[in-house]
Amino acid sequence: MRNRRAMALILVLIMTSLLFLMVLTLITLFRGEIFSSQSNLSRVSSLYLAEAGVAESMLALEANPAWTGVTGQTVPGIAGGAYTVDFAASAPELTSVNNLANASWGTSYHGANTVPPYSALLIVQANVNGTRRNLEVVVTRGTALPSMNNPVLASGRVLMGGNVAISGVTSLTDSTPVPAGIHSNVFGNVPDAVKWVGSGTDTAVITGSVSTTSTAGAAIAMGSATIAGGTQSGAAPEALPNIDIVGTISSKGGSPPPAINGSGVTTLAPGDYYYAGDLNINGGDLRLQSGANLYVSGKLTVNGSIRGEGSVYVGDETRFKGDSSIMSMRGTNNVAVFSHGSLYLEGFNGTDYIDGLVSGGDATLGTLWSESKTVLGALQNRLNNNTPANITAGGSVYTEIDDMRRALGQSNGATWNGHQNDLLYKMARRIESTQSPSTSRDFVIKKFDELDHLYDGKNRMDNFTDNASATPNTVVRDDWDNATYALYGGWFDNMIDNNYTAQLAEMTNITNNVDLNNLGSSYFQGMVYTNGFLHASNGVTVTGAVVARDDGTQATAVVNGQSLRPGDLFFDNDVKVTFVKDLFDGTSFVTPSNNLTVTTWMGR
């Protein structure tokens, strides 16, 4: 009996020990889980705290560009944590760099020239209950145009028809040519990733290369196009700018609405403007004063062009009709258009209109039209192959260039190479007197009158009446520099007569952009960007770059018989893109405001 009791006691003791060990193990496990959960909570909290520190630091820099940082700053809702932003830390890898006021590159612990102009490197040190997290970002003042080497970039296909010209210049005041190419990031075995179809006398000239990531045997089908840089299929993908258009628009929902002029030009003063829903500007152009930014949550339609220095963000489809002005090629225009929906640039094809009149029997217009093309081509050649010293008064080709100018825009004086004088004015009056009013007629007349005004004599007024007051040369020059465009005219004559070489460089760029074989609208100087497809038609000129990047939100549509998918570019019927390299070196800004945006996240 005693043995049984002893055995029972031993079993109870054993079971009790086992239960004790099991409970102890469970307590240890639970304690580990608690510590692990607390550690994970601290890690997540430290990340949120660092991100909050970035946001608060950006607000502090917007309010005070000379802000010197903060130490031990707490954030509501994150217990046991604080962050630090130090612009004078003893450890280089923890030192933030404020380069917001500088036009040159700054130095950081990454090395020389690692902080872009008008930017700041923010290093936020977050600490939550002993768990540390450092977050590193580059923020930029305003909207920077991205660094690019090709002016035509697409995540989808690039399709072209009619006359196409893709060229480049160094800057708006330096007409030195630079290569300008086309690239398609379409993946897989996709034929016709980049394709041009011309007919009759159509030409396609690309001064750079044509490339695509497509590996199809017929990935590039450019026919008889002239491609200076050659072609490459199966190329490495290029980085396309990734711009959060919808998020940017949403963040500006508290901004005031724009005042829209229903019967003329709509001009927006510097600042942010938000428009809820679809916006139609039917009265004329949209002009953005320096630092003006328009945010439209719906569709945007402008029955004219867009000019100025600022940015436009559109949450849906965007359409621009354009106008005839060559002055949108001036350096005072630098606009970025970011369209979440597909983007349509619809011009007027003045060349087809005139060719139709000539083929219809107007021999007089045909002669003027042919002579104008010859003279303008010769003028472009002389400007591009001579120094300012040769071109201006006393130079070796000054007299010849002045005679060419007279042939284009002045009614008296020497002729050039047997051609008539005042060709542009004569063409405008011929069309005006023989054709009934129409959109195309009025477009062409306005275009020729503006060109004539450019090449007219320096002391003549509109309508070719003498300017008895003989406007001083400096007044004419200032009229050009300030883009006031009073009734002086004769700007080109003024530049070459008085050795105004700075203005002459800009005038050369404008002259090069005038193409009588592609007499279309000049829409933009800057960036044209869409998450849908882009359709440019009827003589459109873009001075800058165009990008289509599919973000998976937009739909396919059929345009002029062509099925277009998001990310596609379709240049339809005479389109010209002139790449301005200096605008896309990562230092050019279209929104010179106090607003800061994050351009690079570098989490540690």
pLDDT digits (tens, 9 = 90+) for 308-340: 778 899 999 999 876 656 555 555 567 889 999
Whole-number Å distance between alpha carbons of 229 and 231: 7
Instruction: Tell me the three-class secondary structure of 78-97, residue by residue.
Output: CCCEEEEEECCCCCHHHCCE
Which tokens is 457 given? 């004599």
pLDDT of residue 474: 82
Question: Strand, helix or coil at 344?
Answer: strand
pLDDT of residue 396: 94
Whole-number Å distance between alpha carbons of 205 and 540: 15
Whole-number Å distance between alpha carbons of 346 and 443: 13
Whole-number Å distance between alpha carbons of 221 and 333: 35
Whole-number Å distance between alpha carbons of 222 and 121: 44
pLDDT of residue 406: 92
pLDDT of residue 439: 74
Contact status, residue 96 vs residue 78, Cβ threshold 8 Å: no
Whole-number Å distance between alpha carbons of 64 and 467: 51
Q: How many CA atoms lie within 13 A of 75 on its CB side?
A: 22
Whole-number Å distance between alpha carbons of 281 and 274: 15
Contact status, residue 286 vs residue 264, Cβ threshold 8 Å: no
Segments of the chain scoring below 50 in pLDDT: 461-468, 592
Type and span of the H or E element at 137: strand 131-141
Which tokens is 589 given? 């800004």
116, burial (CB in 10 Å: exposed 0-12, middle 13-18, buried 19+): buried
Which tokens is 477 given? 């020059």
DSSP state of 236: P
Residue indicated by tokens 């351009």: 599
List phi, psi (to 5°) of 479: -60, -40
Measured CA distances, 469 to 461, 475, 482 (Å): 10, 12, 21
Q: Kindly report whether the global pTM for this prediction surpasses the value 0.85.
A: no
Which tokens is 381 given? 């050649």
Q: At what angle do helices 423-434 and 363-384 cross, to 10 degrees?
A: 150
DSSP state of 329: G
Question: Strand, helix or coil at 290?
Answer: strand
Which tokens is 57 given? 């630091």
